[in-house]
Chains A and B, each alone.
Chain A
């Protein structure tokens, strides 16, 4: 499987076989070890980058090395972690989801509006999750059934979700529900004075579940197989159509969970929440070592990608210039570096 490339063009993903199917490469132990190390390398590079950036921070600023700074990375980026996890599923199939930022905004808006209307919190949460996963499923179905490009369909989804936000209301709606407020302000003591919020716990649970699903289940292996080569996966008799739609449904679901976490973070619903957040999510996934052509990547890598972005933001806020545009430039440059790196790996791999 790893050696035969059926497509005439240098298909990069076919040389880098889907992670999680080691038995298929039993015949080539040496080459498989090489391929594996090549695939792990981006994640290691991300981790090294994270440590380096953190090291620079601790040398430069007093108080940077405290455990709370690390905890704050998770607290401030809990929603982005969840978003990146969902995006990982889609990108692993070789697709992309541009609608997630807008779905986050829609989720905060639906939650805030429903709470204001007096609906009980559990019902609101269920409703928000339903909206997100429905939107994802519909986009997935359109992409799969009509073979349209994921990019254009999710772009339309983005327009739709943002537009719906403004149909609900053009003003920011604050959340006053006691359950949401207590969840937002409640903290958990980790010892040593380090506290985290419930959002972090939820985000970590999502990461754990996603990692288990992707790396340990048949469904997860099918995701990797689709990203490796969709036609091969179909020929192997895998349920490609169902799994592909499910990947977009999962991304939509994750986006609505992220939306709930974001509404806890902001305690408001607003149609302009999360503008450009889809780019942050895609950047995190790419920096985390997931190949944009699909088939290779880890959930943990995406989390590391988010943490790298978080550290950059923390560094800039410690620097005290408060010029958020440097964050954007830094993210863009990192994105570039990792894309070029991927490209080089793919060439050598093929």
Chain B
């Protein structure tokens, strides 16, 4: 059955099957389809005052901060790190921006909005430098290094707002999170950031360098890479992304709540990255996967809301998704599936497996193996990595899951 399409020249079907994005995309489509069945108006879009409205646009708008943070998190995770402090940075950015705007001479002016946002982003830059310093210079484990800011960050945000919820009334500032330019401004910002990062990392060697640092920082350094600088940069970038997301979140509600702004968003961001197929062990990442992952999470959340279940119960679904995805990624599981697959092949279906000749080795998580396609031609990589060898193995392994 499937052998026919795969032995043919790499058509769309084969390429899709070879992509590690296949399952996330299918999950997203299934979620949207389920919603459309349950609520026929789910897919409908309408124009009003030059802006699109509808459930899908809502998902995009609400998912923009998560997407942006997940974007920064993707690069951090690609260097085998993690940034737990993004939620706290969101709260700090929101607090600084709103306090500054509320305290300006003319709280409704464009100047006040720009000053507030500029201050917030400058502070986020400093926070990112701080995280990067702890990880790359002092060599502290990323989880722990960012835990410091995660613990202290909300305290700092509360200190800035004096423990109050600061409300602002500033139209230019409102545009960032609640504005529309045909599509929500927030999603335009998030996607623009995604595209820029995709171009910079995949059209230059930077993405390859980040991955090589993730595989082995010491070897990268010996090979002449400035591993420290790269690691430092990704933490600064992650903090800046979190800062912009914080501006979006506070702008959307025209208020800064130091306690609740960005609460648990680091978990959502990590989840989006993991669903998107980036390895938590570093050295392999997919920006398109992160986009899909963030959309899945937001759609899941929206679905739970629209089903009338208490919003908090979403956490249970997320927990089950995390475990399922992680188990599918686990080396042990891959190995077991790979062994079964090679056994099945030996028992007689020799056709059509040319692309996955080294089936077992492709399934173990030898990082050099999985990134080899990137190493061969980093320039040809676009945001959708459809590298043949390793991922064909992945998809194949997952097919086995589906069949069994």
Contact = CB atoms under 8 A, between A and B. Distances in A.
A149 B326 CA distance: 9
Nearest to B365: A147
Given A156-B326, A325-B158, A339-B140, A163 B148 contact: no
Given A157-B319, A159-B322, A343-B138, A166 B313 contact: yes
Contacts of A164: 316
Interface residues of A, number: 47
A129 B90 CA distance: 37
B318 interface: yes
A147 B331 contact: yes
A323 interface: yes
Contacts of A142: 323, 327
Contact of B148 (A155, A323, A327, A332): A332
Contacts of B154: 325, 328
B39 interface: no
A327 B154 CA distance: 11
B152 A153 contact: no
Given A96-B143, A325-B155, A153 B332 contact: no
Contacts of A179: none
B326 A148 contact: yes
Contact of B312 (A147, A153, A271, A333): A271
B250 to A, nearest CB: 18
Contacts of A159: 267, 315-316, 318-319, 322
Main secondary structure of the interface of A (DSSP, over half): helix
Most buried by B among A157, A279, A283, A332: A332
Given A159-B319, A166-B312, A328 B326 contact: no
A204 B172 CA distance: 57
A145 B332 contact: yes
Given A142-B323, A146-B327, A327-B155, A9 B313 contact: no
Given A147-B330, A160-B315, A332 B140 contact: no
Nearest to A169: B310
Interface string B147-188: 111111111111100010000000000000000000000000
Most buried by A among B147, B274, B333: B147
A340 B139 CA distance: 9
Contacts of B274: 152
A279 B147 contact: yes
Contacts of A335: 147-148, 151-152
A156 B323 contact: yes
A282 B147 CA distance: 10
A339 B258 CA distance: 26
Interface in A202-259: none
B280 interface: yes
A117 interface: no
A282 B281 CA distance: 23
A123 interface: no
A61 interface: no
- Interface pairs A-B: 7 shortest CB-CB: A332-B152, A328-B155, A163-B316, A163-B315, A166-B312, A159-B319, A325-B158
30 contacts: A96-B143, A146-B327, A147-B332, A152-B270, A153-B326, A156-B323, A157-B319, A158-B267, A158-B319, A159-B315, A159-B319, A159-B322, A160-B319, A162-B315, A163-B315, A163-B318, A163-B319, A164-B316, A167-B316, A170-B310, A279-B147, A293-B141, A325-B155, A325-B163, A328-B158, A332-B151, A332-B152, A335-B152, A340-B138, A340-B140
